[in-house]
Amino acid sequence: MNIVIPIKQVPDSNKVKMDPESGTMMREGVEAVVNPLDLYSIQLGVDLKEKYGASITVISMGPPKAAKAIREAISMGCDDGILLSDKKFGGSDTWATSYTIAETIKSLPAYDLVIFGERATDGDTGQVGPCTAAWLDVPLASYVASVDAVTDDSIEVERMVEGGYQKLRLPKPAVLTVVKEIAAPMLPTLSGKKRARRTEIPTYTAESLPFEDANLGLKGSPTRVVKIRTPKVSREGRVVHATDGEGTEGALDELIAYLKEKELV
Amino acid sequence: MSFVWTLAEQDGTSLKGVSFELLARGRTLADKLETKLASVVIGGKLSEEQLQELIHRGADEVYYIKNDALDDFVVETYSRILVKLIEQYDPHTILAAATTTGRTLMPHVSIGADTGLTADCTDLDIDPETGQLLQTRPAIGGNIMATIKTPYKRPQMATVRPKSSRPLEADTTREGKIIEVPFEESFVDGRVEVLGYRHNEDEDVDIQEAEMVISGGRGLKKGDNFEIIRKLATRFDAAIGASRDAVDRGWISYPHQVGLSGKTISPKLYFACGISGSIQQLAGIKTAETIVAVNNDPEANIHKIADFSIVGDLFEVLPRLIEKLDENGKKATGGKS
Amino acid sequence: MKGATMEYNTINKKIVDELIGILGERNVITDHEKLETYSHDETPADVYGHMPDVAVTPTTSEEVAEVVKLANRELIPITPRGAGSGLSGGSIPHLGGISLSVEKMNKIIEIDYSNMVAVAEAGIVTNELNNAVAEKGLLFAGYPMSLQSCYLGGNIAENAGGGKAVKYGVTGRYIIGLELVTPTGDIVELGGKLSKDVTGYDLKQLIVGSEGTLGIVTKATVKLIGLPTAKGNLLCLFNSPQEAIDTVPILMGRGLVPTSIEFMDQSSVQTSCNYLNENLPYEDAGAMLLIELDGTDPEQVENDLETTGDILMDNGATEVYVADNSTTQERVWSVRRNIAEAFKVYSPVQSLEDIVVPYASIPDMIPELERLSKEFDTAIPCYGHAGDGNLHATLVKNPAHSEKYWHEIEPRILRELYRITHKLGGKISGEHGIGIKRKSYMAEIADPKELALMQGIKRAWDPNNIMNPGKIFELAPVGAPEVA
């Protein structure tokens, strides 16, 4: 089985500090890491590889340093990687990103499964996976929480939807986007790390494949960011102390009055 | 002028509430554009009356396509139908809900219809100069608000965060057209087979649809202590949320997780118990209407973001809160009878 | 309360007025509620806490000197205080009197890049000092990094260690100059911006670790080093503590100097991993080492991680995991950091110990702890800084035991623990200090001749025994023989 896992490198949101004045994120000097939700797609790939045998190719689009994210995935058990890096890819929205990824997947000799993390924690759109399935014109299962059976030509999954799970059978090849329940990511082992360090990761540019230039980067993106503002998040709410019995009574009376005023009780 | 569309969602036999929230959004946009608002309904066994409610709550037209083959959501089939309708009617704008359905279907459609899509918007407006849709969404964990346009392609499409707007009051005097779209076999993709649906036994899990969410974090110290949260949730008739720490420690299942790597929610009341308020958590609750917090660490971040917060031990504060609410409730009903 | 060895005078209105005269009203605290803050540190307040009669927050060295002169003249105990994050009761005014907090002396005086030193007041939050020097690509490495809130003055008084001491050593290594207010109220400068200085006794190093008994540090000149910009971790699983500890000299012998080598015994690992729902194969591990390497060249750090990992795999590790980015580093360190929290779920009453042994003796310590644990039916997880032999064996009260029984067995277990430590060539505190928490054990275990030398120094510096009296050891009244 051939598995493709597209991943994204994102700023580590855990390491980001809050500006005490504005209550907003300070991103300077923040380390880039594998999108936390991609660790689940990587681990699912590795789990399937262990169970059924597979070769896993990781794809990432980004600046040259995104190769580090690919190496991290390889150290967790993936086999090889492709870095999509070119100024022409810059400014891609989900439409152009998915086009670029889909074309790259099509160029591979064969693929049975494409597994995405549900979304990336920076852009937070969750659109690239479903868009890629549309470009490839292969069946899609989004929000996949478990893989129940894999045969030579099909895969059975459960999708996590509002209030429950939808069970689907998809013919292969198929695209999955997965949620946290799907797998428990392992730490890279020393031997995995050593292998990853020595794996050559080819860089594809806009010239490497017969991409339609008009579909790439900012030029190929139907959406445009026209304005960015930083909302003040601090609500400057009321803080009361309930450090002893008396304090608790007072605090709760105040809270109940507040909730009543807001018609929440 | 081409129309503004909303995509209604149904659960087999009824329309989901988010369908009406979308109409409230769409109505404002359609009025600004001086055009009509239409709602598209795919699948489900819906009565004339149910479809009329879409009109009562803001739609001028309803396109309804039904067939047994459409009862379950299958993205390829739904996408094919929507793309075909877009080709036929050329709408100006399409709004769908940022639910698992909307966030699966609309990206698929954006490729089929060759247009842009903005995810999980919390604010929508019309640019008075160009008449283009201004789609505003929180990004980077809610730390910036980005306004996005789709300048050259049509339709302009956005998914809208559930609970980020309120439905309009039903106006039973409103009139509109219900147009049945004929079903064609060719709509059905057929590659994917729906094997069934498993209801989550946990009833308090639908945190995105809930008006109120009571949430527990690391301060609960162990999984068993979620019992306190459950009691409080019962008292408020609320869904149960959890921080990433609580989910990672295996105290409660992932569908409850609120935050950057869980769900982003906009309830009327978010009640955070023993949650420190990491960036991870805050990303999920910034658009909540009211935030209440209980945390014993006076330095915890959550006190800065909450509208009302109590610095105190949740194991003392919460049981006492339930008692007091019960006392209050008794007094209130006692007074009436 | 009267000291056993000394008659002290109590604070009266006249003395408060005089303090106000020196410091101004806002720097003299007598309000009971506000004084509470000054009555405890991180040790259990119900056991060790004690209220001061007055707390003062001077803003200059001269003010500190005036207050000390007053205390010395009036025979009032004075207890210096930093951030109150100590773990041995060193800053607790256990005889009442004056609590002198350096909280308002928190300025960085200069960062002298040419000499690679910084000069700061004692009340600077060490973390803030490090943020400031980091902007110039520098690091004050004598910082335990355990608490975000601790002060430079407190680090000096306790000679703080922490997890990175394997490579960087403890606070004292970086202290090259001090300004000190002596117990008689003189302001003296010790050392300076000098890398070498054998001009007489090294008094500044005597002050380092003296727990505020020989004076109040008001300023310090600290040595800076280049800020490491790359780091990586290895989490290593072993079948037994012996196999884990045996690798430490092998690593050091190969010229590898990790920033930290943290040891976790089986019960620590299992409790923490279970609490964190960690899916590492921890159930079979008899012990774990968490090793950190840092440097300024990422490539070099990666090479070192690989070499270190290979040595460990060749010498008994059953698996080595690599964490070289913030996500995975957070994950491996959380196993170590959550040990205490995980045990708190089981039982919130604990006694955090700080023994230090020659690190090759760590494996000998483990079976002894297991024996004690069995004998007293009390969990004693053991974790800590294997690279320097400093172990945080922690007594965790058995929830089935009564409060009374716990208070009965705790000193018995500790006494036994310290006896074993002593037998293995160790000492009872590596980085937390003696304070009041371990004072009685100090008297039992320390060599009487060594103790007498310490007491002699104390007498010479503080003839009236007003400077943090009754910490580390008791002092007999003048003329009487010392009680060891």
Can you give the pLDDT at residue C386? Answer: 87
Type of residue numbered C354 = D
Inter-chain CB proximity B249 and C277 less than 8 Å: yes
Q: Among A226-240, C185-199, C298-312, which stretch is predicted with the lowest mean pLDDT?
A: A226-240
Tokens of C224: 């800076």
What phi, psi does B10 have (nearest 5°)? -125, 155
Q: Among A6-20, B144-158, B231-245, C418-432, which stretch is predicted with the lowest mean pLDDT?
A: A6-20
Element (H, E) at B89: helix B75-89
pLDDT tens digits, C392-421: 999 999 999 999 999 999 999 999 999 999
Angle at CA of residue B227, ends A264 and A178, nearest 5°: 85
Q: pLDDT: is C312 or B12 the higher one?
A: C312
Residue B334 pLDDT > 80, yes or no? no
Residue C10 pLDDT > 70, yes or no? yes
Token look-up 């605290």 returns C29
pLDDT tens digits, C17-40: 999 999 999 999 999 989 999 999
- Residues in chain C, total: 484
Question: Side-chain half-sphere of B35: how many Cα atoms within 13 Å?
Answer: 16
Q: pLDDT: is C341 or C20 the higher one?
A: C20
- Rg, Å, chain B Cα set: 22
Inter-chain CB proximity B248 and C276 less than 8 Å: yes
Inter-chain CB proximity C276 and B249 less than 8 Å: yes
B139 pLDDT tier (thresholds 50, 70, 90): confident
Tokens of B17: 């509430």
What is this model's ipTM?
0.89
CA neighbor of A101 nearest in space, from A218, A1, A8: A8
CA neighbor of C100 nearest in space, from C3, C21, C221, C217: C217
pLDDT tens digits, A124-133: 899 999 999 9
C 181-240 residues with CB below 8 A of A?
A: 234-235
| Coil vs helix vs strand at C120 | strand
Option in C309, C322, C326 nearest A12 (CB): C326
pLDDT tens digits, A63-122: 999 999 999 999 999 999 999 999 999 999 999 999 999 999 999 999 999 999 999 988
Cα–Cα distance measured from residue A31 to residue A25, given in angstroms and rounded to the nearest whole number: 14
Q: Among A26-30, A154-158, B233-237, C435-439, which stretch is predicted with the lowest mean pLDDT?
A: A26-30
B-C CB pairs within 8 A amount to 9
Report chain B residues whose CB lies below 8 A from the CB of C345.
Answer: 221-222
Whether B245 has its CB under 8 Å from any CB of chain A: the answer is no
Can you give the pLDDT at residue A26? Answer: 63
End-to-end CA distance of chain B: 58
> DSSP secondary-structure letter at C361?
G
> DSSP secondary-structure letter at C104?
T
What phi, psi does C186 have (nearest 5°)? -90, 150
Report chain B residues whose CB lies below 8 A from the CB of A234.
Answer: 304-305
Cα–Cα distance measured from residue B114 to residue B132, given in angstroms and rounded to the nearest whole number: 17
CA distance C247 to chain A (A): 16
**Could you tell me the pTM of the whole model?**
0.90
Can you give the pLDDT at residue B206? Answer: 86
Q: Among A261-265, C98-102, C403-407, C480-484, which stretch is predicted with the lowest mean pLDDT?
A: C480-484
Can you give the pLDDT at residue A243? Answer: 80
Whether C328 has its CB under 8 Å from any CB of chain A: the answer is yes
Cα–Cα distance measured from residue B198 to residue A160, given in angstroms and rounded to the nearest whole number: 10
Contacts of residue B49, Cβ cutoff 8 Å, sequence gap at least 6: none
- Residues in chain A, total: 265
pLDDT tens digits, A207-219: 999 999 999 999 9
Angle at CA of residue B317, ends B313 and B319, nearest 5°: 125
What phi, psi does A179 have (nearest 5°)? -105, 175
CA distance A77 to chain C (A): 13
Mark B112-143 as b/e (b = at least 16 C-beta within 10 Å): bbebbbbbbbbbbebeeeeebbbbbbbbbbbb
Inter-chain CB proximity A127 and B115 less than 8 Å: no
Inter-chain CB proximity B221 and C276 less than 8 Å: no
Can you give the pLDDT at residue C5? Answer: 45
C437 CB neighbour count, 10 Å cutoff: 29
CA neighbor of B124 nearest in space, from B115, B116, B134, B114: B134
Option in B205, B269, B286 nearest A233 (CB): B286
Q: Among B153-167, B201-215, C55-69, which stretch is predicted with the lowest mean pLDDT?
A: B201-215
Cα–Cα distance measured from residue C268 to residue C264, given in angstroms and rounded to the nearest whole number: 6
Can you give the pLDDT at residue B1? Answer: 75
Cα–Cα distance measured from residue B232 to residue B132, given in angstroms and rounded to the nearest whole number: 45
B335 pLDDT tier (thresholds 50, 70, 90): very low
Helices (DSSP H) in A53-93: which residue ranges?
67-75
Type of residue numbered A223 = T
Cα–Cα distance measured from residue C180 to residue C159, given in angstroms and rounded to the nearest whole number: 16
Q: Among A145-159, B168-182, C57-71, C343-357, which stretch is predicted with the lowest mean pLDDT?
A: C343-357
Question: Judging by beta carbons within 10 Å of its beta carbon (0-12, 13-18, 19+), is residue C230 exposed, middle or buried?
Answer: middle
> In what side-by-side order are the strands of the sheet with B117-121?
B117-121, B156-160, B93-97, B4-7, B37-42, B61-65, B177-180
Instruction: Report chain B's mean pLDDT, rounded to a whole number.
Output: 93
Residue C482 pLDDT > 80, yes or no? no
Cα dihedral value C137, C138, C143, C145, nearest 10: 10
Evaluate whether C284 touches C209 at the Cβ level (below 8 Å): no
Beta strands (DSSP E) in C137-245 are: 138-139, 175-181, 187-191, 216-223, 225-226, 230-238
C366-374 mean pLDDT: 93
Q: Among B109-123, B323-337, C423-437, which stretch is predicted with the lowest mean pLDDT?
A: B323-337
Q: Helix %, strand %, coil % for chain C, to 5?
A: 40, 20, 40
Cα–Cα distance measured from residue C322 to residue C302, given in angstroms and rounded to the nearest whole number: 10
Inter-chain CB proximity C277 and B221 less than 8 Å: no
A247 pLDDT tier (thresholds 50, 70, 90): confident
Angle at CA of residue C76, ends C71 and C82, nearest 5°: 75
- Residues in chain B, total: 337
Helix and strand counts by DSSP (H, E) for chain C: 17, 19
C481 pLDDT tier (thresholds 50, 70, 90): low
Contacts of residue C476, Cβ cutoff 8 Å, sequence gap at least 6: C5, C455, C482, C483
> DSSP secondary-structure letter at B257?
B
Cα–Cα distance measured from residue B117 to residue B137, given in angstroms and rounded to the nearest whole number: 12
Q: Locate the chain A residue with the closest alpha carbon to B121.
A: A125
Can you give the pLDDT at residue B333? Answer: 59
Cα–Cα distance measured from residue C90 to residue B35, given in angstroms and rounded to the nearest whole number: 76
Whether C322 has its CB under 8 Å from any CB of chain B: the answer is no
Cα–Cα distance measured from residue C330 to residue C278, given in angstroms and rounded to the nearest whole number: 13
Four-residue CA torsion sign, C36, C41, C45, C47: negative
Residue B97 pLDDT > 70, yes or no? yes
C301 pLDDT tier (thresholds 50, 70, 90): very high
| Coil vs helix vs strand at A227 | strand
Beta strands (DSSP E) in A89-205 are: 113-117, 140-150, 154-161, 164-171, 174-178, 203-204
Question: Judging by beta carbons within 10 Å of its beta carbon (0-12, 13-18, 19+), is residue B209 exposed, middle or buried?
Answer: middle
Instruction: Return the top range by mean pLDDT from A225-239, B19-33, C335-349.
Output: B19-33
Whether C4 has its CB under 8 Å from any CB of chain B: the answer is no
By percentage, how much of chain B surpasses pLDDT 90?
82
B→C contacts (Cβ < 8 Å), by residue, are: 221-222, 248-250
| Coil vs helix vs strand at B290 | strand
Residue A8 pLDDT > 60, yes or no? yes
